[in-house]
Amino acid sequence: MKRIARQLAAVLTAAGVCLMTGGVDGRLGEYMLSMPQAERMKNVTFMTAAPVYTRPAPGALARSFGLAPPQESFSPPPMPTPESEMILETTIEGGMRIKNETGYWVDAAELLAEGPGLTLPPDEPQILIIHTHASEAYTQSGSDRYAVSDVNRTEDTQFNVVRIGDELTEILTEAGLYVLHDRGIYDYPSYTGSYSRAGAAIEQYLESCPGIRIVLDIHRDALGENGVVYKTMAEEEGTTASQIMLLVGTDESGLEHPDWRSNLALALYLQNAVNSACPTLMRPVDLVPQRYNQQLTPGSLIVEVGSSGNTLREALNAIRLFGRAAAPALAELVEYGQ
């Protein structure tokens, strides 16, 4: 096992934005670093650094939807079973960072200064919350017990990420935003094709409610290797929570996605708002080659709330912190009097 080492990220002078690369060779730009993601492990001295695993879009059996071609297909590696896994805490140093897993150079300071570049219409649906992998659930703990459909998965919406979406919908609605929450389970009956099914639903929402500018696809992450599962941890406002990561897709996979920089600008806008209120809550923004249905609107993000090692309580605490910080920033985008 290798000792975990702290690594410092370079600071962009204009906005204090750090960029962190994902190990792609040939990356250009004086602000780009050549170091892997920095992590601070809590209560652990020796271990291998936890790899960040976020499931790319499946689609080998996309059938008639045609939104996820074969090159986006992926079979997730098996995670340890609850009987064999060791769960360890980790706090991933986030702040205003981008974990850049693409070959693109991005001027994060410029994107942050320009803002998200979108407005929300008043008095009609503005935000869609959906779950491509709705059955994703958390480590069972206390009274949070559920009927398992797979490892750390359940179709019971009181215990999977749909519950997280319920919480965020309530917070944003109380802030005066007009939110639709799709509670459908698109990774059933098969994980394969879930992005195609969710993408078709998103298109229907956008056609029926053209005022929707932002689509938040809420997931939970899975971090682990060699029988070890990591739970991301933040400590904010006297409470313990999981961490949250915003994931932004690009067109580097070869699929059309011309507005991905707009999605990245929105991610940085929200990252800045939440980080200002809760400095330990956010992991770095993850910029990846796949597009994950984010080509459908220039306000699309994946929101990874915790990981499989976290409990539901920790994830609920996290989304409450996130929602309370993000809601005022989103409310500022509402275009009144037009």
Give the CA distances from residue 9 to residues 32, 39, 162, 245, in Å, rounded to whole numbers and listed in that order.
9, 11, 35, 18
- Residues 180, 209 contacting (CB under 8 angstroms): yes
Residue 86, both tokens: 């060791």
For the chain, which domains are there? 38-331 (3.40.630.40)
For 194-225, write each residue's pLDDT tens digit.
999 999 999 999 999 999 999 999 999 999 88
- Residues 295, 120 contacting (CB under 8 angstroms): no
Query: Taking every pair of C-alpha atoms in the chain, what is the biggest distance, in angstroms?
Result: 60
- Sequence-separated (6 or more) residues with CB below 8 Å from residue 210: none
Residue 67, both tokens: 């939104």
State the average pLDDT over residues 281-289: 98
Please give the pLDDT value at position 337: 62
- Residues 244, 318 contacting (CB under 8 angstroms): yes
pLDDT higher at 329 or 48: 329
Numbers of helices and strands, H then E, in the chain: 5, 14
**Between β-strands 52-53 and 214-225, what pairing exists: parallel, antiparallel or unpaired?**
antiparallel
pLDDT band at 84 (very low <50, low <70, confident <90, very high): low
Give the residue from 52, 46, 17, 49 showing the smallest Cα distance to 31.
Answer: 17
pLDDT band at 299 (very low <50, low <70, confident <90, very high): very high
Average pLDDT over all residues of the chain:
79
State the average pLDDT over residues 50-58: 31
For 143-154, write each residue's pLDDT tens digit.
888 788 777 889
Query: What is the pTM assigned to this prediction?
Result: 0.77
- Residues 224, 218 contacting (CB under 8 angstroms): no
Give the helix/strand (H/E) hosting 127. strand 127-130
- List, as one string, the DSSP characters of 23-64: S-TT--STT--------EESS-SB-PPPPEE-PPPP-TT-GG
| Residue 292 reports pLDDT greater than 80 | yes
Other Cβ atoms closer than 10 A to 111: 22
**Between β-strands 18-21 and 97-100, what pairing exists: parallel, antiparallel or unpaired?**
parallel
- Sequence-separated (6 or more) residues with CB below 8 Å from residue 280: 91, 94, 234, 235, 236, 243
